[in-house]
Amino acid sequence: MTAHHDHGHAGGHGHPHQPDIEDRPFEYYQVMAEAVGELLIQKGVLSADELRRAIEDLDARSPALGARVVARAWVDPGFKARLLEDANAAAAELGIDAGAIPIRAVESTAKLHHVICCTLCSCYPRLLLGMPPDWYKSRAYRSRVVREPRAVLAEFGTVIPDDVEVRVHDSTADLRYLVLPARPAGSEALREEQLAALVTRDCMIGTAVPNLHPG
């Protein structure tokens, strides 16, 4: 590569300056989080490396973990039954540490469609899906999905027929929810890994349904 991008400051810098995180004052809770982290390390409660690894582990979580769980439930009825009974233990069978907070898997069927939310804050099965999308935490989603779930789902392109019950789960307390979507018709020949590829994040929130032929 010989292309030259002039980063001198003499002029001709044609794109806007990208702000650095230090360009804004730290907010109260950022300072508090830093302070608590430093104190825990100074007092020997945990090491800097343990703290770093915990953050790295959370950041490494993604919907691919939940998708593996769903795909296994689709091909293995015994696993599905165990998943609906105790999702954390079922995930552990696949080598996935779903954490200490109980996760409740709710099964969508031809007659029942589940969708999850947290009206009070942003509760989400992070250890199976990674960090929630910004819209999940927005006041618009949190207030509207309990009030007019079908209208919200339609805005996601998900139209639920009137003869299918829509059930909203509001995680207000000590549980997290994971939607086990219905296996799409026509997927009988697919292998488990191919099935997992159909299971997107939104399918496990309930704002979408698995689609054999996306796009």
Partner 1 sequence: MPDAFSIGQPVRVRAIYPPGHVRTPHYLRGRSGVVESIAGHFANPEELAYGRDGLPRRALYRVRFRQGELWPDYAGPAADTAVVDLYEHWLEPEGLP
Catalytic residue annotation: 118, 121-123
d(CA 172, CA 156): 23
Nearer to partner 1, 13 or 147 (CB): 147
Nearer to partner 1, 65 or 153 (CB): 153
d(CA 87, CA 106): 10
CB of 10 to partner 1, least distance (A): 56
Binding site for partner 1 (CB under 8 A): 102, 104, 119-120, 146-151, 162-163, 165-175
Buried b (16+ CB within 10 A) or exposed e, 74-87: beeeebbebbeeeb
CB of 119 to partner 1, least distance (A): 5
d(CA 168, CA 12): 54
User: Where does the chain show beta strands of DSSP type E?
Assistant: 103-107, 112-117, 165-170, 176-180
Tokens of residue 64, six digits:
């691919």
Nearer to partner 1, 30 or 172 (CB): 172
Tokens of residue 185, six digits:
């018709």
Taking every pair of C-alpha atoms in the chain, what is the biggest distance, in angstroms? 68
CB of 45 to partner 1, least distance (A): 17
Nearer to partner 1, 64 or 84 (CB): 84
